[in-house]
A and B are shown apart, each in its own frame.
Chain A
Amino acid sequence: MRDLPHGVERRTIDGAEGLATQGEPVYGEPESDGWRRWDPHRSKLGAMLELGMDTGLDGGERVLYLGAAAGTTVSHVADFSGPTYAVEFAPRPIRDLLDAAESRDRLFPLLKDARKPETYAHVVEPVDVLVQDVATRGQADVALANRQFLADEGRLLLAVKARSEDVTADPEDVFDDVVTDLESDYEVLERERLEPFHADHLGVVARPR
């Protein structure tokens, strides 16, 4: 299994071993010695790391995170990354994201629609990593529309939620469709189901073509 990024470690907290990052606690997660638990059940990116997917993350990268929601995952990402731009469209969860950004001075919250990159291209710089976890239809389109932000050697780390595309279809068919759409602009390096941490989700690592 590949090494974890710098700034992410396996630590024993509260008697259980698991991923952890260093930063101010955000959502009541267990912590000790300045490290806080990164629960893969609550974070798709956490699950991708836990499952040993080769994310290419080293630590210190510039990150654009789409679908930041209440900031659970993006707070961990900001703990081990460089400048981190967090896009979320729903006004309610962004309040919690603002709390996470309070103690993280390189985490930049943006209340924007990830389907409309032109509304934040004047703020977001080109990045090394594009993380996407948006629970809307057209998840491949969002990744394609935001391809412009990703450096040539960068990585797309995508969590696909089958049920957001089609509640009734077989998840595996939905994943195939999404991956096929992605391949117009990305080379897919790895795909893996995120069970047992997230039902009907696919983790994808890709790089721009």
Chain B
Amino acid sequence: MTDEGWFAGLDPEDHGAAVTRIREGQAETSADWPRVAVEQGFAGNRDEYYDRLHEVTVAAAREAAGERERAADRQLVHAVRAMDDCREQANELAERLSEWAGSLDDDAGTGVDYARELAAQDPETPGDRRVVSLARRVVGLDEEADDLERFVETTAPEVAPNLTMLAGPVLAARLISLAGGLESLAKKPSGTVQVLGAEDALFAHLRGDAPSPKHGLIYTHEAVHGTRPEDRGSASRALAGKLSIAARIDHYSGDRRPDLQAELDERIAAIQARGDDDA
């Protein structure tokens, strides 16, 4: 680390290099930079220095903010989609595997856990070798999904801290993914958030074939599936309302609002208490 100002050795006309210095430079201690800049001939006087500083700090902040925004929520969306794909593929291949293994062994099991058992075996015949190799692919995909989930767990709180606090990292990421980004999620009315992921049921309803869906993806949230069926409509409406507020705060202000969690808990407890009264 040096103790030089951002302008040290820069050509005053080189805007791009100056922006990079603002973004990436460091110094151990501060100094009277306007005076130093004038002494070093970077600027003719203080006012000229400040004019340049204004120009490059605005450009640097704009550039850095744009990069960080695009990077973070796109990464999260890709990761959660890849995670879901890996799980789905692992399950599908596990089915194929247990069908094949069942033709060789009457005691063959099913699912990814069975694939894990098979993967640990030492194959003897060429047929066994293929089955065991396939099992190892299944296990590999499942482990990849686990790693992706861990990545989602660390990224979601950075992208959307309040939404993640209320929904948990995976549901938060899936909502952002389905909406097509945090910004689009923040712009959706809470009624839409409530049925995100239930598009088939929603369109059936709009055609007049079915009742309106009470919940989509958010069904997986404890506040909804932990509520008795009669009250799930209220619970999912209340949850969707808070999730929408959380997404808006995350997108527009970036502030943390721990109070949202208490408000949601209180609301859900009141809804769940209705059932206790009847009992």
CA distance A92 to B51 in the complex (A): 25
Interface residues of B in 17-32 (CB under 8 A from A): 21-23, 25-32
User: Does B221 touch A at the CB level, under 8 Å?
Assistant: no
Interface SS of B by simple majority? helix
Q: Which residues of B contact A171 (CB under 8 A)?
A: none
Q: Which residues of A contact B31 (CB under 8 A)?
A: 125-126
User: Which of the 9-residue segments B52-60, B75-83, B117-125, B208-216 touches chain A?
Assistant: B52-60
Residues B140-180 near A (CB distance < 8 A): none
Closest to B183 in A: A92
Chain A contacts of B252 at CB under 8 A? 92-93
Judge whether A92 and B5 touch: CB under 8 Å. Answer: no
B50 interface residue (CB < 8 Å to A):
yes
CB of A109 within 8 A of CB of B253, answer: no
Apart from A91-B254, A108-B58, A118-B27, list 11 A-B contacts with CB within 8 A: A91-B72, A98-B62, A101-B54, A106-B54, A107-B54, A110-B61, A121-B28, A124-B33, A126-B32, A164-B256, A167-B258
Whether A92 pairs with B27 at a CB distance below 8 angstroms is no
Nearest-neighbor residue (CB-CB) of B4 within chain A: A122
**What are the interface flags for A102-113 relative to B under an 8 Å C-beta threshold, 1 for contact and 0 otherwise?**
100111111100
Determine if B30 and A149 form an interchain contact, defined as CB atoms under 8 angstroms apart. yes
- The 5 A-B pairs at the shortest CB distance, nearest first, are namely A90-B254, A122-B27, A91-B65, A121-B27, A91-B68
Contact of A108 among B53, B72, B254 (CB under 8 A): B53
Judging by beta carbons under 8 Å apart, are A122 and B26 in contact? yes
Within 8 Å by CB of A135, from B29, B72, B256, lies: B256
Q: Is the CB–CB distance between A91 and B33 below 8 Å? A: no
- Is A69's CB under 8 angstroms from B258's CB? no
Of B2, B34, B50, B64, which is within 8 A of A91 by CB?
B64
Q: Is B85 an interface residue (CB 8 A)?
A: no
CA distance A92 to B162 in the complex (A): 14
Q: Tell me whether A126 and B61 are in contact (CB under 8 A).
A: no
User: Cβ of A83 and Cβ of B62 under 8 Å apart?
Assistant: no
Chain A, Cβ-Cβ closest to B258: A167
B251 within 8 A of partner (CB): yes
Q: Roughly how many angstroms separate A122 CA and B65 CA in the complex, as a whole number?
A: 20
Closest to B256 in A: A135
Establish whether residues B65 and A148, one from each chain, have CB atoms under 8 Å apart when the complex forms: no
Out of A91, A101, A118, name the residue touching B69 (CB < 8 Å): A91
Contact between B258 and A163 (Cβ–Cβ < 8 Å)? yes
In the complex, are the beta carbons of A108 and B28 less than 8 A apart?
no
Name the A residues within 8 Å of B21 (CB-CB): 122
Q: For A125, give its contact among B23, B34, B57, B253 (CB under 8 Å).
A: B34
Minimum Cβ distance to chain A for residue B75 (Å): 14
Query: With A98-B58, A101-B54, A107-B54 as given contacts, are A122 and B25 in contact (CB-CB < 8 Å)?
Result: yes
- Could you show 10 A-B contacts with beta carbons less than 8 Å apart? A93-B252, A98-B58, A101-B58, A108-B54, A111-B60, A122-B21, A122-B26, A126-B31, A135-B255, A135-B256
Chain A interface residue number, banded? 20 to 34
One of A69, A97, A119 near B255 (C-beta < 8 A): A69
In this assembly, does B219 line the interface, its C-beta being within 8 Å of a C-beta of chain A? no
Note all chain A residues with C-beta closer than 8 A to B69: 91-92
Determine the residue in chain A with the shortest Cβ distance to B71. A91
Residues of B within 8 A of A164 (CB): 256
What A residues does B250 contact at CB under 8 A?
92
Q: Closest A residue to B55 by CB, please name it.
A: A105
Q: Which B residue sits closest to A146, measured CB to CB?
A: B30
- Contact code string A85-99 (vs B, CB < 8 Å = 1, else 0): 000001111110110
Chain B 203-246 interface residues, beta-carbon cutoff 8 Å to A: none
> Which A residue sits closest to B186, measured CB to CB?
A92
Q: Contact mask A8-37 → B, CB, 8 Å, 1/0?
A: 000000000000000000000000000000
Asked whether any CB of chain B lies closer than 8 Å to the CB of A123, the reply is yes
Quick check: B50 and A83 within 8 Å, CB to CB? yes
Residues of B within 8 A of A95 (CB): 65
Task: Return B15 CB to nearest CB of chain A, in Å.
Answer: 16
A70 interfacial by beta-carbon distance below 8 Å? yes
Is the beta-carbon distance between B33 and A125 smaller than 8 angstroms? Answer: yes
Q: Given B2, B6, B66, which contacts A123 in the complex, CB threshold below 8 Å?
A: B6
Measured CA separation A126–B53 after assembly (Å): 15
Contacts of A163 in B (CB 8 A): 258-259
Given that A94-B65, A122-B25, A167-B258 are known contacts, is A108 also in contact with B57, CB under 8 Å in the complex? Answer: yes
Q: Are B26 and A97 within 8 A (Cβ)?
A: no
A109 touches B57 (CB 8 A): yes
